[in-house]
Structure 1
Amino acid sequence: MPLLLPSILIDSEYVYSLPKWIILIFQLIHNVFCASVNVFFNLLNSMKDKKKVPMITDPLLLKSAVECGRLIREGRLTSTLLVNAYIKRQQEVNHLLNAVAVENYEFALKKAAETDLYISTLDKKSDEFKNLKDKPLLGVPFTLKCSIKAFGYNPTASIVALNNRPPMNEECPLVSSLKNAGALIICYSTCPELRWNIETNSKLYGRCCNPYDVRRTSGASSSGEGSIIGAGASLMGIGSDIAGSIRIPAAFCGIFSYKPSSKALNGEGHEPGAPEGAPVLEMAHIGPMARYAQDLHFMTKLMMTKDKLEELKMNEKVEFKDLKFFYIKDFSYMESEKVSDDMLLGLDSVVKMINAEGNSICEIVLDELKHANEYWQV
């Protein structure tokens, strides 16, 4: 929801120091504005046909990346069959979504065929066959946000002026991590210009749509990843986040993702970059996106260095019953729209589930959130 006033014009410290009755008037004006925008766009959308991507019919598309990798290593599934299934699905849905920026189908099929040939020639009793476990994603396709560097690809970040550059000879370390595990890139997905928007509607690639209702946005800036994974046209991908760019598309498109903690994963390999030491680098992170929670955890471990795995105890089992949970229900400040009833219903269902498991869960109120936008700008 757009702010009632540009955030740079709002001094929240001053506004919230005003008499309470003035704050209530401002809040009322803001709420009326938000409600009016919702009514207007709901009316506008009602004049268009609601379309969504067709249901998945190929059972291959319903398997996790971890399971697909295991089946390929065991010779019970070919990489070519899996890659072809995802290419077919992308071709089936992309005319509705416009999530694919650059296809990598020919190269992906070539790598898949090489993988299948390699596995078929191995003696299943050999050490080489046993060592396939070191490539747990062998032959499994993934997608990549078009602002992230990969060998042989020009990461445009949807900037027209960068479209004719030669391919890169460098690569994001997280991309290399998945490749080293045997995964292969099937396509590069769209994002807004400079990755700086809450939706994608770029001059280079056009508008990216939500797989559940193409009248609506898939969020941004990792919009293409959210859209294509949510549509079942990709198993997993890599996005980036500074102010919700991974989390917003994940929420809008119903997939699993998160913004990594600072320095948990290597955030190098982004385009356009920032000068070394720039404060923005402390907030701009690259991270995994996936259709299955199992794959998200698995990808994270593959992307981490050995030191980080030990530091963050990623190989230790977490006892769910020992976890403490905290949640926030209300962001109703003048720079934020009230949380929708649907979102609150979803949150309540999660709270009830956690309560049923016997965990400690507590609602908290953070009054400091009324200054959140200014904190972020700092």
Structure 2
Amino acid sequence: MAVSFLERAQAWLFKALMGVLLAFFQMFSSPKPGVSSKKLPPVDNPLLLMSATQLATKIRRKEVSSVEVVQAYIDRIQEVNPFLNAVVKDRFAAALQESAQVDKLIEEESGGEEVLEDRLPLLGVPLSVKESFALQGMPFTTGVVSRQGVVSNTDAPPVALLKRAGAIPLCVTNTSELCMWWESSNHLYGITNNPYNLERIPGGSSGGEGSILGGAGAVIGIGSDIGGSIRIPSFFNGVFGHKTTPGVVSIENQYPTLSGRQEEYVSAGPMCRYAEDLLPMLKIMAGPKADMLSLNKKVDLKKLRFFTIPHDGGSPLVSPVSKEIIDIQRKMVKRLEADLGVKVQEVQFPELCHSFHIWNTYMSLPDKEGKPPVPFAALMGEPGRPVWPLWELLKRMVGKSEHTMAAISVALFGLFRVSNPVTSVIQKEKLQKDVEELLGNDGVLFYPPHPRVAPKHHHPLFRFFDFTYTAIFNTLGLPVTQCPLGLGEEGLPLGVQVVAGKLQDHLTLAVALYLEKAFGGWRDPGAK
């Protein structure tokens, strides 16, 4: 399907508009002095270099206490968060009390290590939580100034399940305003930095999670993803993240609430530094729905069918994929073929160049009762009236708006219809059919997570649509694991999306384990 003249005209118009907005924004913004000359201190505590699975084993065996582990992570957060601004509220005192109770429980447990492992697989392990998830006693604002002071009185189901498995929450982490942008910045908590380069973004909306994980201030965390909000931060910060098949992990007690048909495209899932933690975390977070997935099924990678797509085919809206992203994916393919003796077939789907229009159309569809999604401008105005985007833009130019330029841009964008719903539905249905037929229940697909490595702060305003490399898989409802593949020319993380058929999450998690061994997984940003 060729790109139409109308789509090219839209691309030019919106890129021009975003360029003007970015220029205005930079005129009224001043960079932080000296930030580029700073970098994170290296990790010097060996406890910070162990997976959650390893830590839980050592805690159960009394080789290390939960108090020691929790204190190590508290110390690391206090060391790196002044650089990152990833953690927006901590519960360190409560976490230390809970870790002391864990150590006491282990001393008194008469059933042995196996009983504890079965009942409390993450006993004593620290956890970070995206601030858009309800965590009892912690802020629940998603960076909206009008929600300042809102505190959750409950836990979101996946958070509750992780706590029930023994994990100890240490903190909540920063998001983009209302979780609808791929840079984590808001006027309530400020801007979050990338641990590999403080002038670069950590992604969004789970950018605080990605940043504190990448900076070794956390070992496991929890994120949500409706357009790439787990995978983009995982890519930019060099960690693992998994977008679960929708409908498996509960999305209740998150803010903002979803409307229209958006529940069909959002997923909650694990984020972590070590691939071996993905599967046990997903088992826990899925709760009673874990049986929908084949997580206990052993995967023989040599028996899988592998496919690779180097780019979307040339969408005029999206930046071209950089040479280093294409090259690392080719290198990964060659390594996979050499190690496993398999053949990775390069494929292409013409509909991918329409990814933004497809995602945008389906995000805008009404629910079964015909009720359309709540406009973004209305969410920005809650609990009052919807905001007027143009008025907020004028206020922003004189420093009087409570909203970020990104949020205002998203609201402005909502004033225009840029997709033909009928055309987009036809394109999506063909793409869905072709991809599902290709993958079946034994196929794995590799696809770039983004056209470029982590950009500089505020630059996403000029590359408004680049998130669609991840967003298309939300619309298709497929599980995806984001995997790091080392560092690039600028010392920034490289990576790849690993995609499988619906409910075949175990395949992408198995590939993640292989890629971690082959390419080294997470790298300490302070050790460069």
TM-score, with length taken from structure 1: 0.85
**Higher RCO, Cα 8 Å, sep 6+:** 2
- Give a deviation string over 1:147-167, Cα, whole Å, max 9, x none: 1012222311111111212x3
Choose which of 132, 145, 155 in structure 1 pairs with 2:130.
145
Counterpart in the other structure of 1:313: 294
Choose which of 298, 304, 308 in structure 2 pairs with 1:327.
308
Query: Conserved in 1, the CA contact under 8 Å of 2:231 and 2:241?
Result: yes
Does residue 355 of structure 2 align to residue 372 of structure 1? yes
Distance in 1, matches of 2:47 and 2:85, equals 23
Counterpart in the other structure of 1:363: 346
Matches within 5 A, 1:17-32: none
SS at match of 1:186: strand
Counterpart in the other structure of 1:112: 99
SS at match of 1:228: helix
- Give a deviation string over 1:159-201, Cα, whole Å, max 9, x none: 1111212x32322111111111100100100001101111022
Query: Conserved in 2, the CA contact under 8 Å of 1:323 and 1:360?
Result: no
SS at match of 2:36: coil
Counterpart in the other structure of 2:517: none
Query: Conserved in 2, the CA contact under 8 Å of 1:256 and 1:290?
Result: yes
Counterpart in the other structure of 2:280: 298
What's the offset of the Cα at 1:377? 0.8
Does residue 63 of structure 2 align to residue 72 of structure 1? no
Choose which of 3, 15, 19 in structure 1 pairs with 2:6.
15
SS at match of 1:295: helix
- Give a deviation string over 1:270-293, Cα, whole Å, max 9, x none: 112124xx2111112211100000
Counterpart in the other structure of 2:270: 288
Counterpart in the other structure of 2:84: 97
Counterpart in the other structure of 1:175: 159
Cα RMSD, aligned residues only: 2.5
Does residue 64 of structure 2 align to residue 81 of structure 1? no
What's the offset of the Cα at 1:329? 0.9
Query: Conserved in 1, the CA contact under 8 Å of 2:138 and 2:152?
Result: yes
SS at match of 1:54: coil
Q: Look up the equivalent residue of 2:6 and give its one-letter code.
A: V
Q: Look up the equivalent residue of 2:318 and give its one-letter code.
A: S
Query: Conserved in 2, the CA contact under 8 Å of 1:156 and 1:162?
Result: yes
Matches within 5 A, 1:182-261: 182-261=166-245
SS at match of 2:170: strand
Q: Look up the equivalent residue of 1:179 and give its one-letter code.
A: K
Choose which of 330, 343, 351 in structure 1 pairs with 2:333.
351
Distance in 2, matches of 1:80 and 1:231, equals 21
What's the offset of the Cα at 1:130? 4.4
Does residue 144 of structure 2 align to residue 159 of structure 1? yes
SS at match of 1:287: strand
TM-score, with length taken from structure 2: 0.61
Distance in 1, matches of 2:252 and 2:6, equals 39
Distance in 2, matches of 1:104 and 1:92, equals 16
Distance in 2, matches of 1:206 and 1:371, equals 34
What's the offset of the Cα at 1:48? 6.5
Distance in 2, matches of 1:147 and 1:211, equals 21
Change (3 A) 1:300 1:12: same
Structure 2 gaps of 5+ residues are 362-528
What's the offset of the Cα at 1:120? 2.1
Structure 1 gaps of 5+ residues are 1-10
Distance in 2, matches of 1:325 and 1:151, equals 43
What's the offset of the Cα at 1:261? 1.3
Matches within 5 A, 1:55-70: 55-70=42-57
What's the offset of the Cα at 1:127? 2.5
Query: Conserved in 2, the CA contact under 8 Å of 1:98 and 1:208?
Result: yes
Q: Look up the equivalent residue of 1:339 and give its one-letter code.
A: V
Distance in 2, matches of 1:109 and 1:145, equals 20
Q: Look up the equivalent residue of 1:371 and give its one-letter code.
A: H
Query: Conserved in 2, the CA contact under 8 Å of 1:99 and 1:224?
Result: yes
Distance in 2, matches of 1:297 and 1:359, equals 24
Runs of 4+ residues over 6 Å off in structure 1: none
Counterpart in the other structure of 2:366: none
What's the offset of the Cα at 1:14? 4.5
Query: Conserved in 2, the CA contact under 8 Å of 1:13 and 1:371?
Result: no
Percent identity for Structure 1 against Structure 2: 36
Distance in 1, matches of 2:337 and 2:256, equals 44
- Give a deviation string over 1:304-348, Cα, whole Å, max 9, x none: 234x43332111101111111212112332011111112112111
SS at match of 2:198: strand
Change (3 A) 1:50 1:334: farther
SS at match of 1:221: coil
- Give a deviation string over 1:112-150, Cα, whole Å, max 9, x none: 11111221233xxx3266421210110100100011012
- Give a deviation string over 1:50-102, Cα, whole Å, max 9, x none: 43211111111000000100111111110000001001101111111000110
Distance in 1, matches of 2:162 and 2:290, equals 16
